[in-house]
């Protein structure tokens, strides 16, 4: 073996340098550059069984390219299919990120067990026994599922040639290493090389690969941003560990929209698909309490009814506190300022807490109107009438602005048995013969007087 070669990598963005420096030129972060051992000779490769099968790529006219082969592979999981845009595209590389313990391994193991394809689940984190124990909790038969505990890519490729799976799952990219690079697993150069090998493998064989990636404390996928650029699809599994609901989002998707959302419930027996999320996101209680309002929101193409809770109380300390879960704190401050200035509610000396139930976070501005209603209801200590819900954005002058796809929001509210929905007067509603009462409001004052007289 030749002399050990080293290089310097920014641990944040993955930029490579010949020598150490304090600040990364490319992402401008300080103290992120670290030395890693690399070995450049005899560059790593995924070798197919016979080298003749390797076709040299040559340019084709765009209408000569056969697009019929882009058939999606059904995962037998409605939520995952939707988030991926209809199933797995053969030959694609999917990265699933999420905090430790959120359920990434559970989700992918469960999917491997259900898949109608021969699947190889490679784990560098748990032993075959541990995986088996987990699989038994999930209790689905897994005739097509092979489990391998291995971390070296060359060995993984050898097993792949033997088993010939149709889908490969890797748990996790941070545990993999290739023998052509000397750095330890989880370092930038290892992550980059092993991902590149997997991409080469996926593109040449048309076998899709799903990678699990850990997330660092600040919410990025551990390792270089480069990883996210290299793969075709980046999914994020998120949720509050104290809540049972988990959200699957797509942050990047070369083969579909990134607006879709999948919702799961973590049970003792694995993850359950939640196909009608509105029902679970509204807490069922006997008496109507003040400070809660229901918003009709959209996540991707899917309408969703969510419950917003507000608590307004006199501040005990000098500076009033404002705190939110699942809602943008700056936006709450904006709404409080609008309420104070445009509608004359004295909230300046009050603590305001805002919570979206179910532990999910929403950035659809159409929930503003429900936020206003919840705050006013808590402030006045008068519950909002039963069966009421809201869809509207609040503007800086206190006007209620129209929202997109209002018809869909109204339909969802109607479907779930709401009696009245408040929407902006400026919204064009093309729905006809709906049973739900549509109250058109133009200003915050209109809402306040309608609700509290
Ligand atoms: P895991 O998939 O190991 O998380 P990750 O791979 O993202 O680190 O999830 C572990 C958590 O899920 C753990 O806290 C236990 C819980 N869990 C259940 O509640 N039910 C189950 O059926 C399984 C398998 C796990
Ligand atoms: Mg795991």
Q: Cβ(101) to ligand 1 under 6 A? A: yes
Number of the ligand 1 atom closest to the C-alpha atom of 138: 22
Please give the CATH architecture assigned to the domain spanning 73-273. 3-Layer(aba) Sandwich (3.40)
- Check whether the bond before 272 is cis (ω within 30° of 0): no
Q: Is any ligand 1 atom within 6 A of the Cβ of residue 417?
A: no
Question: Which ligand 1 atom is the nearest neighbour of the CA of 110?
Answer: 24
What's the rounded Cα separation, in Å, for the pair 124 and 149?
6
Q: Which sign does the torsion angle of CA 90, 91, 97, 101 carry?
A: positive
Of 196, 247, 261, 260, nearest to 223 by C-alpha is 196
Confidence (pLDDT) at 51: 46
CB 98 near ligand 1, within 6 Å: yes
Closest by CA to 207, choosing from 118, 67, 90, 95, is 90
Give the residue numbers of the binding site: 98-105
Q: Give all strands of the β-sheet with 261-267 in edge-to-edge order.
A: 145-149, 119-123, 167-171, 209-214, 93-98, 233-238, 245-253, 261-267, 270-273
Ligand with the closest atom to the CA of 123: 2
Question: The whole model's pTM is what?
Answer: 0.75
Both tokens of 304, joined, read 């969703």
* Interval between CA 126 and ligand 1 midpoint (Å): 12
Instruction: Determine contact, residues 358/245, Cβ cutoff 8 Å.
Output: yes
Residue among 102, 103, 242 whose CB has most ligand 1 atoms within 8 A, to mutate: 103
Among candidates 190, 177, 174, which has minimal Cα distance to 104? 174
Distance from residue 64's CA to the centre of ligand 1 (Å): 46
**Residue 109 CA, closest ligand 1 atom number:** 2
CATH level 2 (architecture), domain 281-452:
2-Layer Sandwich (3.30)
Is the shortest distance between the CB of 266 and ligand 1 below 6 Å? yes
Q: Which of 101, 104, 239, 248 to mutate to test the pocket of ligand 1 (most atoms within 8 A of CB)?
A: 101
Q: Beta strands of 217-370 (E only): which ranges?
A: 233-238, 245-253, 261-267, 270-273, 292-299, 302-314, 322-325, 350-356
CA of 44 to the centre of ligand 2 (A): 27
**For the chain, domain boundaries:** 1-41, 73-273, 281-452
In this prediction, residue 48 carries a pLDDT of: 56
pLDDT by residue for the chain (453 residues), tens only, comes to 456 778 898 888 888 898 999 998 988 889 888 888 776 555 545 665 444 444 567 888 888 877 665 688 999 999 999 999 889 999 999 999 988 888 999 999 999 998 999 999 999 999 999 999 999 888 667 788 999 999 999 999 999 999 999 999 999 899 999 988 888 888 888 888 999 999 999 999 999 999 999 877 666 666 667 788 889 999 989 877 677 788 898 889 998 888 778 889 888 888 999 887 776 667 666 567 889 999 999 887 778 888 999 999 988 877 889 999 989 999 999 999 999 998 888 888 899 999 998 778 888 999 999 999 999 999 999 999 888 999 999 999 999 999 999 998 998 888 888 899 999 999 988 888 788 999 999 999 999 999 887
Say if ligand 1 is within 6 A of residue 177 CB.
Answer: no
Q: Name the closest-CA residue to atom 1, ligand 1.
A: 103
Q: Which among 325, 320, 313, 360 is positioned nearest to 337, based on CA atoms?
A: 320
Cα(385)–Cα(392) distance, integer angstroms:
18
Return the bridge partners of 272, or none.
265
- For 95-141, the DSSP string reads EEEE-TTSSHHHHHHHHHHH-SS-EEEEESSS-HHHHHHHHHHHT--
Does the Cβ of 106 fall within 6 Å of ligand 1?
yes
Q: Is the dihedral of CA 35, 123, 69, 84 positive or negative?
A: negative
User: Which parts are annotated binding residues for ATP?
Assistant: 98-105
Return the axis-axis angle of helices 444-452 and 368-380, rounded to nearest 10°: 50
Q: Helix 153-163 to helix 188-205 angle, to the nearest 10 degrees?
A: 20
Q: Output the CA 109–ligand 1 centroid distance in Å.
A: 10
- Residue 266 φ/ψ region, left for φ over 0, alpha for ψ in the -120 to 50 degree band, beta for the rest: beta
What is the distance in A from the centroid of ligand 2 to the CA of 32?
26
Q: Which atom of ligand 1 is nearest to the CA of 237?
A: 7
Ligand 1 site, residue 269, Cβ cutoff 6 A: yes
Decide whether 73-273 matches 281-452 in CATH topology: no
Quick one: pLDDT at residue 44? 47
State the DSSP H helix or E strand holding residue 146, giving kind and residue range, or none if neither.
Answer: strand 145-149
Nearest Cα residue to atom 23 of ligand 1 = 270
Mapped to the 3 state alphabet, what secondary structure does 167-200 carry? EEEEECHHHCECCCCCCCCCCHHHHHHHHHHHHH
- Whose Cα sits closest to atom 16 in ligand 1? 103
Atom of ligand 1 nearest to the CA of 172: 6
The span from the CA of 322 to the CA of 386, in Å, is 27
pLDDT at 58: 81
Q: Tell me, using a 6 A CB cutoff, whether residue 242 lines ligand 1.
A: no
CA-proximal residue: ligand 1, atom 12 (nearest): 103
* CA angle in degrees (0–180, nearest 5) for 36-124-240: 95
């Amino acid at each position: 073996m030749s002399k050990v070669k080293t290089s310097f990598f920014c641990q944040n963005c993955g930029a490579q340098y010949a020598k150490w420096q304090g600040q990364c030129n490319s992402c401008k972060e300080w103290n992120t550059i670290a030395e890693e051992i690399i070995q450049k000779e005899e560059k790593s490769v995924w070798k197919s069984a016979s080298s003749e099968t390797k076709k040299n790529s040559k340019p084709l006219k765009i209408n000569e390219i056969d697009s019929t082969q882009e058939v999606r592979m059904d995962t037998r999981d409605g939520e995952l299919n939707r988030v991926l845009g209809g199933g797995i595209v053969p030959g694609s590389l999917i990265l699933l990120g999420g905090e430790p313990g959120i359920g990434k391994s559970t989700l992918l193991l469960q999917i491997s067990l259900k898949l109608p394809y021969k699947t190889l689940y490679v784990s560098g984190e748990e032993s075959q026994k541990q995986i088996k124990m987990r699989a038994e909790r999930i209790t689905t038969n897994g005739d097509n599922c092979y489990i391998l505990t291995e971390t070296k890519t060359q060995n993984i490729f050898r097993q792949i040639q033997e088993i010939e799976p149709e889908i490969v799952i890797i748990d996790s990219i941070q545990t993999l290493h290739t023998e052509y690079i000397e750095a330890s697993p989880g370092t930038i150069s290892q992550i980059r090389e092993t991902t590149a090998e997997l991409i080469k493998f996926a593109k040449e064989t048309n076998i899709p690969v799903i990678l699990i990636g850990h997330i660092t404390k600040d919410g990025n996928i551990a390792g270089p941003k480069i990883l996210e650029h290299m793969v075709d699809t980046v999914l994020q599994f998120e949720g509050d560990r104290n809540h049972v609901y988990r959200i699957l989002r797509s942050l990047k998707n070369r083969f579909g929209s990134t607006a879709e959302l999948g919702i799961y419930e973590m049970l003792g027996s694995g993850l359950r698909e939640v196909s009608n999320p509105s029902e679970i996101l509204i807490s069922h209680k006997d008496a109507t309490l003040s400070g809660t309002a229901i918003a009709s929101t959209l996540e991707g193409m899917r309408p969703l009814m969510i419950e917003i809770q507000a608590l307004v109380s006199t501040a005990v300390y000098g500076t009033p506190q404002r705190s939110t879960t699942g809602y943008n704190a700056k936006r709450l401050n904006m709404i409080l300022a609008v309420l104070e200035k445009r509608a004359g509610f004295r909230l300046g000396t009050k603590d305001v807490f805002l919570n979206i139930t179910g532990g999910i976070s929403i950035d659809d501005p159409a929930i503003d109107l429900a936020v206003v209603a919840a705050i006013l209801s808590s402030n006045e200590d008068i519950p909002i009438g039963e069966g009421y819900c809201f869809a509207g954005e609040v503007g800086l002058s206190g006007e209620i602005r129209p929202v997109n796809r209002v018809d869909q929001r109204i339909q969802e509210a109607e479907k779930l048995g709401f009696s009245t929905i408040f929407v902006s007067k400026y919204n064009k509603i093309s729905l006809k013969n709906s049973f739900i009462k549509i109250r058109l409001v133009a200003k915050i004052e209109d809402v306040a007087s309608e609700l509290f007289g």
